[in-house]
C-alpha cells in the first residue's frame, strides 16, 4: 500500500493521485505467509510450533525459485520492487502480509483461498499435508484501510489469526457441520507439516482484533453455499 507524504487519509487522495495507488494495488496484497507457506522455510530458519514468525522474516527469492514456488516468488519480488521504487521517490510504503484469506466471497468466481476450504467440504477423500496461516478477509480489508488512515503506520504487518494444518481445519468443520462428509485421512501419513506462530502485536496497533478461525470457516462455508459452489 502506498501512502504519499501529506495524504494521511484515503479520502484525501485525489483522483489525480489515484493511478499511483492503483499501480501498487498488486503489492498491497503481497504476502510472505501465503501459500506455498513453505516460502518461510526458504530462509533456512525452521518453523515449529514454538517459533514466532514476525515482520523481520523475509523470503529469500533464490530459495523460493529453487523450490519452484512461483506464486510465493511473485509476491516476494513484488514487495522488493515496490520497496526499491518507492524509496527512490521518497514515498512511504506500508505492506500488509496476510495469510490465506477466507470468509465471505465477494466476487462470483472462486479464489484460491476459498477453494482450499471448498476442497474439504466437496467430498474429497483426503486432505493435504499442509499448514496454512489463516485470516478473515474482513480483517485484511480493515487492515488496509487502517494502514492508510493511521499516519504512523509503517513497514510491514503480518496478518494471520492462526496457523493450522488441514487436519485441524477438517476437525473444526466436522464438528461444525456433522452431516457433511469431511475427509478424515491425510494424503500422506504422519508426520504432518508442523505449524508455527505468527506475531499479532504489530497488527494490533492497527486496531485489528482478529476474527477467530472458527468464525471465518463458518462464514466461508455459508458463503460457498449461498453462491452454490456446494450444495447441502
Ligand X SMILES: *[C@@H]1O[C@H](CO)[C@@H](O)[C@H](O)[C@H]1NC(C)=O
Is the dihedral angle over the CA atoms 102, 35, 129, 228 positive or is it negative? positive
Asked whether position 188 contacts ligand X by CB under 6 A, the answer is yes
CA–CA gap between residue 23 and residue 211 (Å, rounded): 29
Asked whether position 126 contacts ligand X by CB under 6 A, the answer is no
Nearer to ligand X, 68 or 191 (CB): 191
Region binding ligand X by CB under 6 A among candidate stretches 13-21, 46-54, 74-82, 185-193:
185-193
Contacts 24+ apart (CB under 8 A), 218-221: 218/176, 219/102, 219/103, 219/104, 219/136, 220/102, 220/103, 220/104, 220/105, 220/114, 220/117, 221/117, 221/121, 221/173, 221/176, 221/177
**For residue 152, which phi and psi values (nearest 5 degrees)?**
-85, 0
Asked whether position 191 contacts ligand X by CB under 6 A, the answer is yes
| 193 CB neighbour count, 10 Å cutoff | 18
The least distance separating ligand X from the CB of residue 231, rounded to whole angstroms, comes to: 21
Q: Is 75 a catalytic residue?
A: yes
Residue 74: closest CA among 84, 85, 65:
65
CA–CA gap between residue 40 and residue 57 (Å, rounded): 8
Region binding ligand X by CB under 6 A among candidate stretches 55-63, 67-75, 191-199, 207-215:
191-199
Nearer to ligand X, 29 or 180 (CB): 29
- Give helix 112-121 / helix 213-226 axis angle, nearest 10°: 80
Among 42, 193, 206, 213, binds ligand X (CB under 6 A): 193
Q: Which of 17, 75, 200, 227 is catalytic?
A: 75
The least distance separating ligand X from the CB of residue 107, rounded to whole angstroms, comes to: 5
| Three-state DSSP state, 92 | strand
Nearer to ligand X, 116 or 120 (CB): 116
Region binding ligand X by CB under 6 A among candidate stretches 150-158, 184-192, 195-203, 207-215:
184-192
Asked whether position 1 contacts ligand X by CB under 6 A, the answer is no
The least distance separating ligand X from the CB of residue 42, rounded to whole angstroms, comes to: 13
**Residues 187, 128 contacting (CB under 8 angstroms):** yes
The least distance separating ligand X from the CB of residue 201, rounded to whole angstroms, comes to: 26
Asked whether position 192 contacts ligand X by CB under 6 A, the answer is yes
Active site positions, annotated: 75
Q: Which residues here bind ligand X, judged by CB under 6 A?
A: 29, 107, 109, 111-112, 129, 188-189, 191-193
Amino acid at each position: 500500500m502506498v501512502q504519499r507524504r501529506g495524504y494521511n487519509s484515503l479520502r484525501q487522495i485525489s483522483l489525480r493521485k489515484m493511478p499511483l495507488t492503483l499501480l501498487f494495488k498488486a503489492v498491497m496484497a503481497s504476502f510472505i505467509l501465503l501459500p506455498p507457506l513453505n516460502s518461510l522455510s526458504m530462509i533456512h530458519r525452521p518453523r515449529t510450533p514454538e517459533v514466532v514468525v514476525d515482520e523481520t522474516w523475509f523470503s529469500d527469492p533464490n530459495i523460493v525459485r529453487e523450490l519452484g514456488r512461483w506464486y510465493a516468488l511473485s509476491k516476494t519480488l513484488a514487495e522488493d520492487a515496490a520497496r526499491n521504487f518507492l524509496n527512490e521517490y521518497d514515498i512511504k510504503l506500508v505492506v500488509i502480509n496476510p495469510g490465506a484469506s477466507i470468509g465471505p466471497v465477494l466476487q462470483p468466481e472462486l479464489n484460491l483461498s476459498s477453494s482450499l476450504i471448498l476442497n474439504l467440504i466437496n467430498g474429497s477423500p483426503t486432505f493435504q499435508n499442509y499448514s496454512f496461516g489463516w485470516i478473515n478477509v474482513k480483517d485484511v480489508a480493515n487492515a488496509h484501510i487502517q494502514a492508510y488512515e493511521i499516519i504512523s503506520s509503517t513497514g510491514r504487518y503480518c496478518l494471520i489469526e492462526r496457523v493450522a494444518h488441514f487436519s485441524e481445519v477438517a476437525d473444526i468443520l466436522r464438528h461444525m457441520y456433522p452431516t457433511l462428509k469431511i475427509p478424515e485421512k491425510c494424503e500422506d501419513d504422519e508426520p504432518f507439516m508442523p505449524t508455527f506462530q505468527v506475531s499479532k502485536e504489530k497488527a494490533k496497533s492497527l486496531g485489528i482484533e482478529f476474527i477467530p478461525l472458527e468464525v471465518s470457516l463458518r462464514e466461508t462455508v455459508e458463503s460457498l453455499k449461498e453462491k452454490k459452489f456446494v450444495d447441502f
